[in-house]
Amino acid sequence: MIYRIDNLACTDCAARIEAEARKLTGVKTAHVHFASGRIELDLDDTANETEIFHSLARHVRRIEPEAVLRPMLDHGHDHDHDHSGRWTLIGLGVSAILFAAGWTLMAKDTPQMVIIGVFLAVYLISGYRVLLAAIRDIFSRDIFNENLLMTVATAGAWVLGEYAEAAAVMLFFHVGEYFQSLAVARSRRSIAGLMDIRPEFANLLKDGVATPVDPAAVEIGDLIAVRPGERVPLDGVVRSGASRLDTAALTGESLPRAVGSGDPVLSGSINLSGLLELEVTSLSADSTVSRILAEVEHATSRKSKSEHFITRFAKAYTPVVFGLSLLLALIPPLAFGGEWNDWIYRALVFLVISCPCALVISVPLAFFAGIGGASRRGILFKGGNYMETLARVSTIAFDKTGTLTEGLFAVREVRPAPGFDRETILESAAYAEANSTHPIAVSLRAAWGGKLDPARIGNVEEVAGQGVRATVDGKEIAVGNAKLMESCGAAVPDQPISGTVVHVAARGAYAGSIAIADALKSDAAHAVEQLRAEGVRRMVLLTGDNRPAAAAVAAELKLDEVHAELLPTGKVECLERLMHDREPGETLCFVGDGINDAPVLARADVGVAMGALGSDAAVESADVVLMTGEPSRLPEAIRFARHTLGIVRGNIGIALGVKLIVLLAGAAGLVTMWAAVFADVGVCLLAVLNALRALKLPEKNAR
């Protein structure tokens, strides 16, 4: 079950709601997706959904009084509607006017009861949510939080006769909460803008007639029409028509991409010009746009070390503060004869200053904003933890084909062995690779150019990391690397050839070799140069390609090491050796795009997949996805990660530093509750505004 939580603006509250949901009878697991304001529950088969909904709604109201739990509408395509914002602003306006009036009345000869009444009105209008939440928390035994801090501090101020200060604490705390919600809303809008790329309908073609249907109702192989101005609803291949596509929402690229018959098209793109007829290649749930949205939505649940630290810190911090304030109120009067009113007032000031809002709010918000800002640039971080890990990267290992090179192979040279000719070798290779979608197989079939007859093909056996064996016209044909030739008993002559070399054997006899070249991506060299500038000390090539081809690429890009002819397990072994050699505190990143890269992407400290067009296994296994598939986006991703982490560290330093200074001053009686509330709210607002800087990479770092 999936429910909306409207007006959820606090990451700490989201974590508490998730914890309470997991305790409910009938709930197996619960996950709150702060980015989209949703909670996802996995229920037992016998669970009472209605009872669970009402129980969860009570917990939501108790933890976050302004939040509202409601069912999802329209098959989960829902949006956040904050209906309380206007009333919150009206309440703040009324409170501010009354507060100013009370302050004016204090300067005149006004009866005390009138002044108390005005400040009481300010106190209740601004703080009734905090008071209700504190009462609910006491009954639920969840007392150590900012609601109780504010309630105890202000109640004590009323007892001491500091009416204006009690009202001021609630008013300015409410102001801080309002600006916090605005900041979260701004960050969420950046995510919501991404969510809007999910198309609401697909024009299903039946007998030449287009009928709008839910994308989830379209099957693989169906034909759909995409008119100019419409968003592509599902991944597909162009069967007729030509157009230009705006892929900015997916990749961050502003330049339209031209497509025609046979070209792949990604869901979420916008058709700019001609009518397109597409053959659907993926279901709605598995489409590119659905995968992207799912990853962004789940990203905030994968917390960084900084976020885990703040969560643990806040849990221990609040009880400690309560204890210290109690000691501050009791020990000086009891042990040293101090004035009770003076030391109780200092203890209340201590409580106000110590509210952990700035830390609890701003650190997760900075990662939230950073993930949203990067996603708009076509860089998809799957969690704040991966952002933090990438920021410390010192070693990068690259796959070659499709990562640093285009992956568009073309036959450059054919060398027949004695007794064979060029046409025979190409025809044999094309038939052996007839059922493969690998770029090398495609290039072999294209070089032969003939029409394949499936009846001529018998058994086909793929040999992992070596090539393929097939029976063609009753003859055994082997196409692959030197290891495959060796297993077939075909002796490979010593002849240096640049590029990727495919060997061909017929009936165990060596037939010849085919040289296939793959061009470097246009920005690969620039990417390596920028990575050096970012302080990456070691760059390594890990590839299954032959040594000459790998060495040529490494030399051209000036990489530090080359490891070639590797099986997937070999890549993992090489990666583990590299991880063993790194310095303490540094991390290793692997960048790849193929299905054989999935194990090493998962094993690296942080795995980066190249583009939405990479294999599903690679994209699923990766921690970061570069949607354009451009190597130059990797240094930008590192800069984004370091920019965000710098903001997080700055917020932690500012919040702890200012609070420590004012706490000591409050305990010494050097500051009043006025200064305390301004220090608390001011630091919170400063930290929140600083966190919003993570939405955009500064121009000097954008390069």
Residues with a known catalytic role: 399
CB atoms within 10 A of CB 486: 13
DSSP string, 594-651: SGGGHHHHHHSSEEEEE-TTS-HHHHHH-SEEETT--TTHHHHHHHHHHHHHHHHHHH
The secondary element (H helix, E strand) that includes residue 192 is helix 163-195
CB 564 within 8 A of CB 543: yes
Task: Tell me the C-alpha distance between 622 and 211, whole Å.
Answer: 37
Residue with tokens 């009462």, as numbered in its chain: 135
Task: Tell me the C-alpha distance between 550 and 544, whole Å.
Answer: 9
Largest CA-CA distance found in the chain, in angstroms, rounded = 117
Residues making up the chain, counted from first to last:
703
The secondary element (H helix, E strand) that includes residue 483 is helix 482-488
Residue 178 in 3-state DSSP? helix
Residue 41 in 3-state DSSP? strand
CB 433 within 8 A of CB 484: no
CB 365 within 8 A of CB 184: yes
CB atoms within 10 A of CB 568: 17
Amino acid making up residue 700: K
Vertex 550: Cα angle to 549 and 552 (nearest 5): 65
Cα–Cα separations (whole angstroms), residue 301 to 34, 288, 560, 638: 8, 21, 36, 21
CB 55 within 8 A of CB 42: no
DSSP string, 79-120: ----SSHHHHHHHHHHHHHHHHHHHHHHTTT--HHHHHHHHH
Residue 187 in 3-state DSSP? helix
